[in-house]
């Protein structure tokens, strides 16, 4: 059986020291978590990937690691970009086409498709994000995260019934995908979503920054 993914998207938060402090807190608070059916994926910014990965490995923490973005280009003369091949040994997953990337950095369905293909070519599992049922989902992406922009960081999640209808509509256009919901998910509302059909996980921003809160979110169901 596939595990439910809990993707902790730290966005542009945490220094290296703060990232380590989170992992220390997780070690204390997360020791009793039942992760038989769940997989927690920590997604720090690029600067902390190696340190976080090393810490997880050295301390045998039950955590996977993901990036928040990759370049659409191969390794080369692209100042400021990070190619998939440069981080393929550091991460298991990569978030692609998050709403913030689409809105602030003008990523399109075409960019998302190029990045998904880069991830797949480098053995990284892409989490392809869509803002609504009209976005395209690249063929190779298995995981699709529905992230309605108005629910992100607003404290007002999309309703479970609307999330379900978006999953269904995406499923009819792009069969055999696994669906993830993201947008103001907290320990207090996650139970409203866990029984949606074809739900494969959650993408969590604000509530993933604090280890105690993340552990609570994982343990309420």
State the Cα angle at 74 between 69 and 78, rounded to 5°: 80
Q: What is each CA distance from 86 to 58, 71, 78, 90, 145, in whole angstroms?
A: 22, 10, 13, 8, 24
**Does 147 qualify as catalytic in the annotation?**
yes
Pick 55 or 182: Cβ nearer ligand PGA? 182
205 binds ligand PGA (CB under 6 A): yes
CB of 95 to ligand PGA, least distance (A): 8
Nearest-CA neighbor of 41 among 182, 194, 197, 198? 182
Pick 71 or 208: Cβ nearer ligand PGA? 208
CB of 152 to ligand PGA, least distance (A): 4
Q: What is the DSSP string of 92-160?
A: SEEEES-HHHHHHS---HHHHHHHHHHHHHTT-EEEEEESSTTS---TT--EEEE--GGGTTTS-PPPH
Residues in 164-203 that interact with ligand PGA by CB under 6 A:
182-185, 203
CB 112 within 8 A of CB 140: no
CB of 187 to ligand PGA, least distance (A): 12
Indicate which residue of 39, 72, 113, 147 is catalytic: 147
Backbone angles phi, psi at 54, to 5 degrees: -65, -40
| Residue 119 neighbours by CB under 8 Å, 6+ apart | 70, 84, 94, 96, 125, 126
Residues in 128-147 that interact with ligand PGA by CB under 6 A:
147
CB of 206 to ligand PGA, least distance (A): 3
Indicate which residue of 39, 72, 98, 100 is catalytic: 98
Q: Which of 124, 128, 137, 152 binds ligand PGA (CB under 6 A)?
A: 152
Stretch that binds ligand PGA, among 23-31, 50-58, 62-70, 204-212 (CB under 6 A): 204-212
Distance CA 148, CA 181 (A): 9
CB of 211 to ligand PGA, least distance (A): 16
206 binds ligand PGA (CB under 6 A): yes
Q: Which residues are catalytic?
A: 98, 147
Binding footprint of ligand PGA on the chain (CB under 6 A): 9, 147, 152-153, 182-185, 203-207
């Amino acid at each position: 059986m596939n595990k439910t993914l809990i993707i902790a998207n730290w966005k542009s938060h945490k220094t290296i020291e703060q990232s380590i402090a989170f992992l220390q807190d997780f070690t204390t608070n997360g020791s009793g978590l039942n992760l038989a059916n769940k997989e927690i994926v920590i997604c720090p910014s690029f600067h902390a990937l190696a340190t976080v990965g090393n810490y997880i490995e050295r301390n045998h923490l039950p955590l996977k690691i993901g990036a928040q973005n990759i370049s659409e280009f191969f390794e080369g003369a692209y100042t400021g970009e990070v190619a998939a091949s440069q981080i393929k040994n550091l991460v298991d997953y990569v978030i692609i086409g998050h709403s913030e990337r689409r809105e602030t950095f003008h990523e399109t369905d075409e960019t998302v498709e190029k990045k998904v293909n880069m991830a797949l070519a480098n053995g990284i599992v892409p989490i392809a994000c869509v803002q609504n049922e009209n976005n395209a989902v690249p063929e190779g992406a298995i995981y699709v995260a529905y992230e309605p922009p108005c629910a992100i960081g607003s404290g007002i999640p999309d309703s479970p019934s609307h999330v379900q209808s978006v999953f269904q509509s995406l499923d009819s256009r792009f069969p055999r995908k696994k669906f993830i919901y993201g947008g103001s998910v907290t320990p207090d509302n996650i139970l409203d979503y866990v029984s949606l059909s074809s739900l494969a996980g959650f993408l969590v921003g604000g509530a993933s920054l604090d280890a105690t809160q993340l552990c609570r979110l994982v343990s309420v169901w």
